[in-house]
Structure 1
Amino acid sequence: MPGTYEFEDFLLKVSTPFYLLLICVEIFLTYRPSHEHHSPRASYTFKDSFTNALLMLLNGGIDLLFRTAYVGVLIWFYNMGFKAAVSNPFFYWFSLFLLEDLAFYTLHYVDHHSRLFWAVHVTHHSSEHFNLTTGFRSSVFQPLYRFFYFIPLALVGFSPADIIIMYSLTQIYGIIVHTEYVGKLGWLEYIFVTPSHHRVHHASNVQYLDKNMGMCLIIWDRIFDTFQEELETVPPVYGLTKPIENATLANTVLHEWKEIGKDFKQKTDLRTKLNYLIKAPGWSPDGSRMTTKDLQKINQEGAIKSLYNK
Structure 2
Amino acid sequence: MDFTNPLVYGVPCFLGLILVELAYSKHSKKAKKKQLYFWKDFAASMTMGIGSAILAPLTKTIAAIVLFNFVYEFFNPIVGGIRMNIMGYESFGYAWYIWLSCQFLDDFSYYWFHRQNHNIRFLWAAHVVHHSSQNFNLGTAVRNGWFTVLYKPFFYMWIPAIGFPPEMLVVCLGIEALWQFQLHTVYVPKLGFIEKIMNTHTMHQVHHAQNAAYMDKNHGGFLNIFDRIFGTWKELDETIEIKYGVTHAPDSNNPLTILTHEYKDIWRDMKKSTNWYHKFKYAFAAPGWSHDGSTQTIKQQRKRDF
Q: What TM-score does the superposition give when structure 1 sets the normalisation length?
A: 0.89
User: 1:51-107 CA distances to partner (integer Å, 9 max, x unpaired)?
Assistant: 112112222333233345423121111112243544671110000000000001000
Are 1:131 and 2:137 counterparts? yes
The equivalent of 1:305 in structure 2 is none
The equivalent of 1:23 in structure 2 is 18
Q: Return the letter of the residue paired with 1:39.
A: K
> In the aligned structure 1, how far is the partner of 2:273 from the partner of 2:128?
26
How many residues of Structure 1 are paired with residues of Structure 2 in the alignment?
293
Are 1:65 and 2:71 counterparts? no
How far off its partner does 1:171 sit? 0.5
The equivalent of 1:218 in structure 2 is 224
> In the aligned structure 2, how far is the partner of 1:277 from the partner of 1:114?
8
C-alpha contact 2:271 2:279 (8 A) present in aligned 1: no
How far off its partner does 1:38 sit? 4.8
> In the aligned structure 2, how far is the partner of 1:215 from the partner of 1:258?
30
Selected match of 1:279 from 255, 266, 285: 285
C-alpha contact 1:126 1:252 (8 A) present in aligned 2: yes
The equivalent of 2:174 in structure 1 is 168
C-alpha contact 1:214 1:220 (8 A) present in aligned 2: yes
User: 1:216-254 CA distances to partner (integer Å, 9 max, x unpaired)?
Assistant: 111110111100000022121101112223331111110
How far off its partner does 1:11 sit? 4.3
C-alpha contact 2:129 2:259 (8 A) present in aligned 1: yes
The equivalent of 1:78 in structure 2 is 72
Q: Return the letter of the residue paired with 2:71.
A: F
Aligned-residue identity in percent? 33
Question: What value does the CA root-mean-square deviation take over the aligned residues?
Answer: 1.9
Which has the larger displacement, 263-272 or 14-23?
14-23
User: 1:26-62 CA distances to partner (integer Å, 9 max, x unpaired)?
Assistant: 2233123532x5526x101122222112112222333
- Counting only pairs closer than 5 Å after superposition, residues 88-167 of structure 1 correspond to structure 2 as 89-167=95-173
Gaps of 5+ in 2: 77-84
How far off its partner does 1:176 sit? 0.3
Gaps of 5+ in 1: 301-310
Are 1:244 and 2:250 counterparts? yes
> In the aligned structure 2, how far is the partner of 1:246 from the partner of 1:32?
27
| Partner secondary structure for residue 93 of structure 1 | helix
> In the aligned structure 2, how far is the partner of 1:258 from the partner of 1:210?
22
The equivalent of 2:33 in structure 1 is 39
Q: Return the letter of the residue paired with 1:44.
A: Y
Q: What TM-score does the superposition give when structure 2 sets the normalisation length?
A: 0.90
The equivalent of 2:44 in structure 1 is 51
C-alpha contact 1:201 1:210 (8 A) present in aligned 2: yes
> In the aligned structure 1, how far is the partner of 2:52 from the partner of 2:18?
20
C-alpha contact 2:52 2:146 (8 A) present in aligned 1: yes
> In the aligned structure 1, how far is the partner of 2:67 from the partner of 2:26?
47
Q: Return the letter of the residue paired with 1:162.
A: M
Q: Compare the two structures and name the one with the higher helix fraction.
A: 1
How far off its partner does 1:161 sit? 1.2
C-alpha contact 2:125 2:263 (8 A) present in aligned 1: yes
> In the aligned structure 2, how far is the partner of 1:106 from the partner of 1:78?
21
> In the aligned structure 1, how far is the partner of 2:241 from the partner of 2:176?
27
The equivalent of 1:178 in structure 2 is 184
C-alpha contact 1:206 1:299 (8 A) present in aligned 2: no
CA separation of 1:260/1:87 partners in 2, compared to 1, >3 Å: closer, same or farther? Answer: closer
CA separation of 1:22/1:59 partners in 2, compared to 1, >3 Å: closer, same or farther? Answer: closer
> In the aligned structure 2, how far is the partner of 1:267 from the partner of 1:16?
45
The equivalent of 1:303 in structure 2 is none
How far off its partner does 1:130 sit? 0.5
